[in-house]
Structure 1
Amino acid sequence: MYDDERVTQASDPHPLTRHLQQLTQRARAFDRRRPLVWDVLLTAFFVVAAGVDYMGGGWRNIAVNTDLPGWLIAVLTLGMSVPLLWRRGRPMTVLAVMVGFGAVNSVTGALLQVALVQLIVLFNIALRLPLRTLGWAGVLMTLPVVAGTIRFPKGSWDQQILPQLWAYAIVGLLGIAVRSRQDYTRALVERARQLEVERDQQARLSAAAERTRIAREMHDIIGHNLSVITGLADGGRYAAARSPERAAQALDAIGSTSRQALAELRRLLDVLREEAAETAALAPQPALTDLDRLIDGVRAAGLPVRSTFHGRADSIPPGQQLTVYRVVQEALTNTMKHAGPGVTATVDVAYATDGVTVAVTDTGRGGVPSGSGRGLTGMRERTALYAGTIEAGPRPHPEPGWQVRLHLPRTTAPKESAQ
């Protein structure tokens, strides 16, 4: 609990920091909506500041030549401030114009402070254009400085040039840092978007897999039990005329099979109810110990089945037991539905150290009608969960009938849940 509190406190920014972040976000949002407004305000600020310096004569305090005409100072002032309005769309053109006026500013000895506005354009170049362009911009801005140093030398050249170069370098690096930060933020936003898309896709895939699993269970439960009920009903109808006791037994078996099918369906449908998820998870799934009951039900429906078991199933995982149970169930259901009259079936289950092998054969005409292969698809899907192999097809000539052979290797976990 204390660790969570420390993490929460560390992740919460200071109120002042949060307030500044909100103001920054609002300013950026306004700039994205109305960039011209911000450009006009910024340009107007520097034009007014430069105009105050010109009108008040403050430029004479640092000028080398104070006898320059007023019209020249006015032109230089406007020439190095008004182009700032187009700094985003054409930064290199704006810089070239400013450098031209800056060269006149340095050569004439006016040394107007408005020349520093070039640093804003340099920042925009570092922020938006390639680094090669930034290098050429630095060279271009150095020309007026060199010209002024040659025209009005004061002390050593490094005292006049190096401070300017350092200023250009710092502004350029600041633009690169802001650009890198923006690129990193955009990459994070894009990554978050991709993760959100992947999460939605994974949710859809999981939902589709769950629907497939439920459909497979519904097919196995309903298909098998209805086939057994149909067989019992047909047998009971024929027995009713000759042996009422046999007909009563068939009706009892139909009731028992129906109740079993309803119980399995209720367990399966409970999984879909969120409030009953925990209860549904406790419901037992069919296992290998239930094969005898399954085969007895098929026999009661009128299909003679001979079963043999080799080895012990103690170490078979529950998921594999369910797969074996469903494959045997589906194979016997197909035999009852498609093999024809007078057919017999055989179920052989062998447990070995390398896995479990199952063979279900019948002596009918074999095959599955076209368009009704959902059961075979379900068997293959269940087998694939445990990297097993399954073969379904006619028995080798001249033996009549159909066979299903399943092998599941020893494994500790399926590729996905088989429950």
Structure 2
Amino acid sequence: MVEPTAPSRYAQRITARVRAADAARPWLWDGAVTLVWTVAALVDAAGGWRNVARDPSLPAGLVAVLSLALALPLYARRRRPTTVLAVMAAAAFASEVSGAFLQAGFLQVLPLFQLALTRPPRRLLWAFPALALPLLAGALRFDGEAWDAHVVPTLWAYAGVALLGITVRSRRDHTAALEDRARRLEIERDQEGRLAAAAERARIAREMHDIIGHNLSVITGLADGGRYAAARSPERAAQALEAIGTTSRQALGELRRLLGVLAVPDGAPGADRTPQPALADLAPLLEGVRKAGLPVAADLPDPLPALPPGAELTVYRVVQESLTNTLKHAGPGATATVRLTAAPDGTVVTVTDTGTPSGPPGRGRGLTGMRERAALYDGTLDCGPLPAGTGWRVRLHLPAARPNSPEESRP
């Protein structure tokens, strides 16, 4: 982009100040313009009008009145250009027919310009007949066969002024449209930024909930078991403490990985891109839950199905959250079953338990987070009590990703 030169910047600043002053006090500018042209018209009425008049013997009073009628209406030209042009056209008609041929008649270009600048173009359809009629009347009366020498050049001048007003208006409208578009784009950019930030906060909340909620539930189960085993079987208590340490270190590692990604900008060489949990990590997950005291039976295919990384993370988190809820709410003596089925139309994960729910579902963040994860991949998640009335079931269905579909590129 070419930077404006110093004279251009100076002219732009002066223009901006004049426009600001005009917008603040439009009456001052209108009064100044009207005063200047009224003085000029009266000076011409003092005697100069005779140089172009067809009838120099007209009374000076009539000439002065006509001059004022052609100059004073300019004060209202911006507010009522149509009315001002009609009044001035009537005065111009009297000037032409009487033979005064006052040069103040050319002041009609000012309301004509304002009309073309601020009013619909159809208003010009009647403006040109109103301007042409006085010229034709005076030319036919005094010039005879040479009438076109007086009419045609003047009409061309009026046409040029009208085109100038239309051009300025088009440029102003185009500039206003560009500014409006820029404002809209800025608003859309801010909205997209807020939506992206909200989506990222929701993703972080899901990850934090799954990591902290599950591991704390496992640690709680291990601690309760270790407390009961401490008096009777010190070896079992030691195993529980060891499992607590392992689970705590695993939770800290996942948290550091998540916080590390947040702390480093995207694309930076120091960003930690350690893979998120996948289907291969289901076995260690189930083993940790078993150590916490919940018997879990697994029905996993061998080999495990190949899914996009994001879909594998969704399956892992749903299984993790389901078993966490079983640990917290199913009660003592409950067991759980995890079943993973891969079919051509998609992947189905079912987690069931034999416990009795201790409260109404849907109060916490867990079920909402699972549904949000499923929705990211156009999947469905159904959860509720088993038909027999004892136990709970969570069923996740993820449809098969189409080739080159957006699901394959989601993180």
Q: State the TM-score, normalized to the length of structure 1.
A: 0.89
Which runs of no fewer than 5 residues in structure 1 stay unpaired? 1-7
Partner of 2:188: 198
1:349 aligns with 2:340: yes
1:49 aligns with 2:40: yes
Relative distance call for 1:222 and 1:368 in structure 2 (3 A) is: farther
Relative distance call for 1:292 and 1:272 in structure 2 (3 A) is: same
Q: Secondary structure at the match of 1:47?
A: helix
One-letter identity of the residue aligned with 2:172: Q
1:74 aligns with 2:79: no
Partner of 1:166: 156
Q: Take 1:137 and 1:76, find their aligned partners in 2: how far apart are those partners?
A: 20
Partner of 1:309: 300
Partner of 1:93: 83
Is contact 1:311–1:352 with CA below 8 Å preserved after alignment?
A: no
Q: Take 2:27 and 2:264, find their aligned partners in 1: how far apart are those partners?
A: 55
Partner of 2:312: 321
Is contact 1:386–1:414 with CA below 8 Å preserved after alignment?
A: no
CA apart distance, 1:245 = 0.6
One-letter identity of the residue aligned with 1:99: A
| Residue among 101, 111, 135 paired with 2:125 | 135
1:245 aligns with 2:246: no
Is contact 1:240–1:246 with CA below 8 Å preserved after alignment?
A: yes
Q: 1:9-408 maps to which residues of 2 (within 5 A)?
A: 11-13=2-4, 17-55=8-46, 57-274=47-264, 278=268, 279-313=270-304, 315-366=306-357, 369-370=360-361, 372-397=363-388, 400-408=390-398
Q: Secondary structure at the match of 2:145?
A: coil
Is contact 2:362–2:368 with CA below 8 Å preserved after alignment?
A: no
CA apart distance, 1:232 = 0.4
Is contact 1:355–1:410 with CA below 8 Å preserved after alignment?
A: yes
Show CA shifts across 1:283-322 (max 9, x none): 3311111111111100000111111221534631111111
Is contact 1:311–1:350 with CA below 8 Å preserved after alignment?
A: no
One-letter identity of the residue aligned with 2:394: V
Percent sequence identity over aligned pairs:
59
CA apart distance, 1:192 = 1.9
CA apart distance, 1:173 = 2.3
Q: Take 1:325 and 1:275, find their aligned partners in 2: how far apart are those partners?
A: 26
Is contact 2:382–2:395 with CA below 8 Å preserved after alignment?
A: yes
One-letter identity of the residue aligned with 1:351: A
CA apart distance, 1:205 = 1.6
Is contact 1:308–1:349 with CA below 8 Å preserved after alignment?
A: yes
One-letter identity of the residue aligned with 2:293: G
Is contact 1:334–1:368 with CA below 8 Å preserved after alignment?
A: no
Partner of 1:3: none
CA apart distance, 1:366 = 4.2
Show CA shifts across 1:124-177 (max 9, x none): 111122333322222222221122123213434433333333223222222222
Is contact 1:349–1:356 with CA below 8 Å preserved after alignment?
A: yes
One-letter identity of the residue aligned with 1:300: K
Q: Secondary structure at the match of 2:307?
A: coil
Is contact 1:309–1:349 with CA below 8 Å preserved after alignment?
A: yes
Q: Take 1:148 and 1:312, find their aligned partners in 2: how far apart are those partners?
A: 103
Over aligned residues, Cα RMSD in angstroms? 2.4
One-letter identity of the residue aligned with 2:335: T
Q: State the TM-score, normalized to the length of structure 2.
A: 0.91
One-letter identity of the residue aligned with 1:304: P
Is contact 1:95–1:118 with CA below 8 Å preserved after alignment?
A: yes
Aligned length: 408
Relative distance call for 1:179 and 1:309 in structure 2 (3 A) is: same
Shifted more, 18-27 versus 237-246: the winner is 18-27
Q: Take 2:31 and 2:302, find their aligned partners in 1: how far apart are those partners?
A: 89
Partner of 1:4: none
One-letter identity of the residue aligned with 1:173: L
Relative distance call for 1:354 and 1:312 in structure 2 (3 A) is: farther
Relative distance call for 1:261 and 1:417 in structure 2 (3 A) is: farther
Is contact 2:113–2:162 with CA below 8 Å preserved after alignment?
A: yes
Relative distance call for 1:350 and 1:371 in structure 2 (3 A) is: closer
Show CA shifts across 1:171-216 (max 9, x none): 2222222222222222222222222222222222222111111111
Shifted more, 103-112 versus 72-81: the winner is 72-81
Relative distance call for 1:214 and 1:413 in structure 2 (3 A) is: farther
Q: Take 1:113 and 1:204, find their aligned partners in 2: how far apart are those partners?
A: 63
Q: Take 2:200 and 2:125, find their aligned partners in 1: how far apart are those partners?
A: 59
Is contact 2:116–2:165 with CA below 8 Å preserved after alignment?
A: yes
CA apart distance, 1:120 = 0.7
Q: Take 2:407 and 2:188, find their aligned partners in 1: how far apart are those partners?
A: 20
